[in-house]
């Protein structure tokens, strides 16, 4: 039950991240480079303070692969949403994350029960039904490529977190060493941020990214690669539900049925494999 509640809290943080990013970038006055750089710096400062306040040393954990994959995800995610609709972006992101993390599990020879494959397929089918754009127009190639890169970065970042023994210090190190990559990108591709956009980036970086990702690293060893991958398919459903509440729109039959498919598939994939009685 503790793992379930912490996972639900983490998925809420991920959904809030998506909403904050879209709120900041949708009017075009806040640029993706500025938002990503502020987000990474805010997360680094927040986590650095938490590591120091906890005691036992203030130095973050240096993990080059973790910092690089985090920067790839944050930057790719922000730049992709400039040209991609939210629904298509979510499909590419979470589809890519599934592929990356399931492939990683197979390479690392983690056991993947048949029920988990079926649950992942059912949940992703529900997500496609929920998010597939009307008319089926082809997405912008550049935006799709950036989101695919973000999906690969997040998948690798999540796989790296399976063996962490100090989630807070590891996440702090990833943000501290990814922040310069965000600042370099801002120097090379300069844009600006409004006060509202900067505030949203700080909130995203410090709370829903920094603290949310530390919590993610804390629960990953208990979830495993494939269960963690499938659990994330809940995020677009939560974000869509939050958007409906914020916009005071009615919940449609399509949303209800698709959400049931996604949540049912996640539940199926999360159940432990059946134990055969010993003869």
CA distance 201 to 179: 13
Q: Is it the case that residue 279 has pLDDT exceeding 60?
A: no
Task: Decide: 232 and 269 in contact? Cβ < 8 Å.
Answer: no
Task: Decide: 197 and 65 in contact? Cβ < 8 Å.
Answer: no
Which 3 state secondary structure label does DSSP give 137? coil
> Exposed, middle or buried: residue 207 (CB in 10 Å: 0-12, 13-18, 19+)?
middle
Least confident of 27-36, 80-89, 131-140, 174-183: 131-140
Which 3 state secondary structure label does DSSP give 24? helix
| Residue pLDDT, tens place only, 151-199 | 999 999 999 998 888 999 999 999 999 999 999 999 999 999 999 999 9
Candidates 61, 69, 15; CA nearest to 40 is 69
Candidates 213, 220, 100; CA nearest to 150 is 100
Q: What is the pTM of this model?
A: 0.90
Q: Is it the case that residue 1 has pLDDT exceeding 90?
A: no
With bands split at pLDDT 50, 70 and 90, how would you rate the model's confidence at 9? very high
């Amino acid at each position: 039950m503790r793992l379930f509640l912490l996972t639900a809290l983490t998925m809420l943080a991920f959904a809030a991240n998506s909403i904050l990013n879209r709120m900041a970038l949708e009017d075009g006055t806040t640029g993706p480079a500025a938002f990503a750089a502020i987000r990474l710096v805010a997360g680094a400062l927040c986590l650095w303070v938490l590591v120091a306040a906890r005691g036992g040393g203030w130095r973050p954990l240096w993990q080059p692969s973790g910092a690089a994959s985090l920067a790839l995800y944050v930057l790719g995610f922000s730049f992709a949403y400039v040209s991609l609709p939210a629904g298509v972006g979510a499909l590419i992101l979470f589809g890519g994350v599934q592929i990356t993390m399931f492939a990683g599990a197979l390479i690392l020879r983690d056991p993947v029960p048949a029920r988990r494959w079926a649950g992942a397929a059912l949940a992703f089918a529900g997500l496609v039904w929920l998010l597939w754009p009307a008319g089926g127009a082809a997405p912008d190639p550049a935006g799709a490529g950036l989101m695919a890169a973000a999906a690969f970065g997040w998948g690798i970042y999540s796989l790296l977190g399976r063996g962490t023994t100090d989630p807070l210090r590891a996440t702090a190190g990833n943000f501290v060493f990814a922040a310069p990559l965000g600042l370099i990108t801002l120097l090379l591709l300069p844009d600006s941020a409004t006060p509202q956009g900067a505030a949203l980036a700080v909130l995203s970086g410090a709370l829903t990214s920094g603290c949310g990702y530390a919590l993610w690293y804390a629960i990953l060893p208990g979830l495993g690669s494939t269960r963690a991958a499938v659990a994330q398919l809940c995020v677009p459903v939560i974000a869509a539900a939050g958007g409906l509440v914020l916009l005071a729109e009615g919940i449609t039959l399509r949303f209800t049925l698709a959400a049931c498919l996604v949540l049912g598939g996640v539940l199926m994939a999360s159940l432990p494999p059946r134990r055969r009685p010993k003869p």
